Structure 1
Amino acid sequence: MQAHTDAHTDAHTDKAGSTRDASRSVPQPATDAQAAVAGGATPATSPGTPAPTRSRRDHRIDALRGAALLMMFIDHIPQNLLNRFTMRNVGFADAAEVFVLLAGYASWLAYGRGFTKYGVLPTLQRLFKRCVQLYIGQTIMVMAYVFTVRGWRHFTPVSVDYLEPELAHGLGWIWRVMMFDALPSNLNIMPLYLVLLTGFPIFYLLMRVHRSLALLLSGALWMLVNMDPELNFPNWLDPDGWYFNPLAWQFLFALGLTASAQTQQRGRDFKRVPALAALCWVYLLFSAIQAFPWALWGLPDLRPFGNTLAPAKSWLSPLRLFDVMAIFYLVQSSEPARRWAAESWVGQELARVGRNSLEVFVVGTILDLYARLIFSTFGEGWVLQIAVNVVGLAILIGLASWLDRRRARARAAKPAAPPPVAVASSPTGG
């Protein structure tokens, strides 16, 4: 769930020697990757022209990802009253779609230029290192879930919903979980991201042949899965396969990659087309009305299609795909959204969370389990509701802030690179 200090962290680090911001809240000179994120990169100025004061870094991707991570923490606690206010209540898509799309966007910034800039082997090494980090994060979450539930049930009954029965006894499940042959509930988005990131070199090669060809093949596979949802990876815990079908969700990841590459090539934001923006708003309004839980709030049901329209999440149905793409376009073509993410306190706090997504996701997923166990053991009263949400969100935001400061100190401790030495040429040209 990305995330993580995953590809988005590498996306803001240039191995040529420039690094991302020393502080999330203090604009620094943009690296190549940062300039690529900044769709509206500041054009070069002519001699004598004052340099623009606005930071070239685009914080919108980080802020969106941070918001998605915090919403995933809230949504994964079924008893949490706060999950009535997350985006899944006002649209077909939810935080998972936002997370995967932005993971693709950031992955291009981290690795897309690497094959030509640093070489094939160094870039593949960076990809391998990131995949190892994701695998370690997944292992930590699985072990925390299994041993916590097994320990908790010695003191009070624990519903099987907290852990698949196959994982509740014995050790025969270990190799299946470690090989991704078995994906427990609420622990299935990290394997998806790992598979997508592993396939990045293949998509990159297709993009080198032709960018449209790569997207066309990816979209064709997505359409095939939507026509036959049984095309999926096997899951020992679920006969239907992976809940997040990688063969379908790879298209959303590919759209993020392509959008990032296009933004980098153009050197500016997506163009704001009024007609397209209006169409996006109309679709999001329809999505909000159709997806809103009217009965939960005791209101008349205003859904135009009632219960007949339920877009599938497992294979990423078109209605969910259009929803997240409409949100993405409106945000990435909005200058006010850029300023809000860069200048507001909320925007910068969300950006901190987004840029430390691996650690935040792992800790948030483990906190989800403890929150569910607390609610099931001690009740779901207002005191616990407030305590669980305040403490949980404070831990995640505080973790992101601490990681920022630690990395800033590590960068400050590194010796500065010596300035280039000018060599005077002799009168004879020697």
Structure 2
Amino acid sequence: MLHDTPPVLRTAPPALLQPLLQPVSASTPSVPPTPAPSRTPVPGERDTRLDTYRAICLLMIFINHVPGQYLEYLTTKNFGFSDSAEAFVLISGLSAGLAYGRKFLPGNRLALSLRIWRRAFTLYIAHIMSSIITLAIFAGGALYFHRQDLISEINIRPLVDNTEQGVVAMVLLGHQFGYNNILSMYAVVFLMLPGMLLLQKIGPALLLGVSALVWLLAGIFHIVPINFLDHNYWFLNPFSWQFLFAIGLVAMMRSRKGLSLPRHPALVSIAALYVGVSFAWVLFSWWSIDFSHGLPAVLTGFDKTFLSLTRLLHVLALGYLLAITPVFNRLSRLRLDHPLVMIGRHSLPVFIFGTILAMIGQVLLFVTGKDPIIGTLFVMVGIALHFAYARYLDWLGGLSTIAPLKT
């Protein structure tokens, strides 16, 4: 999902825009009563739907980041233009609207902006640490298994050949390893978030208009952060992907005002037709069909870096169809102590944990001749470890609420 393999072979996990099926309000119970709530303190009216979808994305990311095993073919990545990267960013925009949208008020804007930028710094640190651990995993594998060719994997070689420049480049986000490039993009988008919230306060149409213009210009003129060592650029361009994030932000703010999604039959039919064509296009490999007619690739191609319109429309159409289907709304409202909800609630540490596991899995497959059976067994164990780690994080969070013993 997050590396330089062909972007046209991936699709988004189901149930992206479910949180918009019903408006989010304090008067509407968001989850059914549960006799055994999670040990981690969470708001009593927490809407678990976003946690559920985020967890699905995280598990999809992990599975797809260990390529060459059988479970990879059971994910949804091969059945549409978009993939779990688009889903993750869209859900992040929805979450940002829920977390910050109503708090961005006069007198509180500077303090909230500083909180948001602190979160961006946390994402930056997480990216750097996961990159260092990735480097250590591959270097350790090369030493232990005597497989120096491991160093040529996932764009590690340029850093090893130019160590001094490479370390500086990595810290300055000027060099990225394969499968380690979503947090850096996400951090830059978070730096933009206060500006998005300000435009949203002026008017949602203004935010979407400015965001769409930035997306279009970035796609046409290739405005994108560069990589220093290989004279290339970021695999996920934040100036392109911010548009999807902004759409999620505006959608959540609309939902919080009590406005539901439009359900006109024509709109439903168009969305369904687009999803169907996308499914057939990928399934039957119609990539040789050229419908560009001289238009920019960002409008007619399938590029992941600049989030081509085909990918953007697919994740929105798929999400819209699932959002207006009541059964998905019901199924995604899980208990606070449900394993999927726990994974989604601890998304950042679980994402880092999954990335580290996936890098270990890649080394394991490399030194075993890419044996799909070994890879499948590793991924199955890794999925179980995701649930165990989320449970541990929930338990650890619960410990902080226990009053210390008096001496």
- Provide the secondary structure at the position in 1 that maps to 2:223: coil
Please give the alpha-carbon distance, in whole angstroms, between the structure 2 residues aligned to 1:67 and 1:284.
20
**Contact 1:166 1:173 (8 Å CA) reproduced:** yes
Task: Determine if the alignment matches structure 1 residue 111 to structure 2 residue 100.
Answer: yes
* Aligned pairs (5 A) from 1:97-136: 97-116=86-105, 119-136=108-125
Render the CA deviation track for 1:135-181: whole Å, top value 9, x for unaligned: 22112211111122222212321330234212225343222111112
- Could you say which residue in structure 2 is the equivalent of 1:195? 188
Q: Which residue of 2 aligns with 1:60?
A: 49
Identify the residue that residue 24 of structure 1 maps to in structure 2. none
2:23 to 21, 40, 50: 40
Separation of aligned partners in 2, 1:383 and 1:148: 22
Question: Shift of the alpha carbon at 1:118?
Answer: 7.8
Is the counterpart of residue 385 in structure 1 residue 375 in structure 2? yes
Q: How does 1:27-426 map to 2 (within 5 A)?
A: 39-41=22-24, 44=27, 54=32, 57-116=46-105, 119-154=108-143, 155-157=145-147, 158-159=149-150, 160-169=152-161, 170-228=163-221, 230-266=222-258, 269-292=260-283, 302-304=284-286, 306=288, 308=290, 311-343=302-334, 348-381=338-371, 383-411=373-401, 413=403
- Amino acid paired to 1:105: L
What residue in structure 2 maps to residue 422 of structure 1?
A: none
One-letter code aligned to 1:316: L
Distance in 2 (CA, whole Å) between partners of 1:83 and 1:163 is 22
User: Contact 1:98–1:324 at 8 Å: present in 2 too?
Assistant: yes
Q: Report the CA distance shift for 1:275/1:344 in structure 2 as closer, same or farther (over 3 A).
A: farther
The one-letter code of the counterpart of 2:185 is L
**What letter corresponds to residue 136 of structure 1 in structure 2?**
I
- Alpha-carbon distance, 1:392 to partner: 0.8
C-alpha separation in 2, matches of 1:74 and 1:53: 29
SS of residue in 2 equivalent to 1:143: helix
Deviation at 1:406, TM superposition (A): 2.6
CA distance in 1, matches of 2:146, 2:63: 24
The range that moved more, 66-75 or 111-120, is: 111-120
Judge conservation of contact 1:342–1:348 (CA < 8 Å) in 2. Answer: no
> By how many angstroms is 1:355 displaced?
1.7
Distance 2:253 2:133 in 1: 37
Work out the CA distance in 2 between the residues paired with 1:204 and 1:368.
Answer: 35
% identical equivalent positions: 28
Which residue does 2:8 correspond to in 1? none
Q: What secondary structure sits across from 2:175 in the alignment?
A: coil
Amino acid at match of 1:61: L
In 2: Cα distance, 1:272 partner to 1:404 partner: 38
The alpha-carbon deviation at position 272 of structure 1 amounts to 3.6
Give the 3 Å change call, closer, same or farther, for CA 305–390 of structure 1 in structure 2: closer
Within 2, Cα distance between the matches of 1:165 and 1:358?
28
In 2: Cα distance, 1:357 partner to 1:351 partner? 10
SS in 1 for 2:173: coil
Whether contact under 8 Å (2:166, 2:229) holds in the other structure is: no
Taking a change above 3 Å as real, the CA distance of residues 117 and 337 of structure 1, as seen in their structure-2 partners, is: farther
Distance 1:248 1:403 in 2: 33
Cα pair distance change 1:276/1:351, threshold 3 Å = farther
| Contact kept in structure 2, 1:131 and 1:198, CA below 8 Å | yes
Q: Deviations over 1:309-356 (max 9, x none)?
A: 7511110001100111012212333322121012489x9433322221
Residue correspondences, number: 365
Contact 1:60 1:332 in 2 (8 A): no
Q: Which residue identity does 1:201 align to in structure 2?
A: P
1:75 to 1:125, Cα distance in 2 relative to 1, 3 A = same
User: CA-to-partner distance for each residue in 1:352-383, whole Å, 9 max, x for gaps?
Assistant: 22221101111111111110110111234354
The answer to whether the 8 A contact 2:69-2:372 is kept is: no
Superposed CA deviations along residues 219-273 of structure 1, whole A, max 9, x for unmatched, are 1121222323x2211112443311111111111111111111111112x542443
**Cα distance, 1:37 vs. partner?**
7.5
Judged with a 3 Å threshold, the aligned counterparts in structure 2 of structure 1 residues 413 and 112 are, in CA distance, closer, same or farther, namely farther
5+ residue gaps, structure 1, are 3-35, 46-50, 293-301, 415-430
Shift of 1:305: 5.4
Rounded to whole Å, the distance in 2 between the matches of 1:330 and 1:412 is 44
Contact 1:184 1:237 in 2 (8 A): no
Tell me the distance in 2 between the aligned counterparts of 1:272 and 1:202: 31
Which secondary structure does the structure 2 equivalent of 1:277 belong to? helix
> Structure 1 residue 113: deviation in Å?
2.0
Equivalent residue letter for 2:303: A
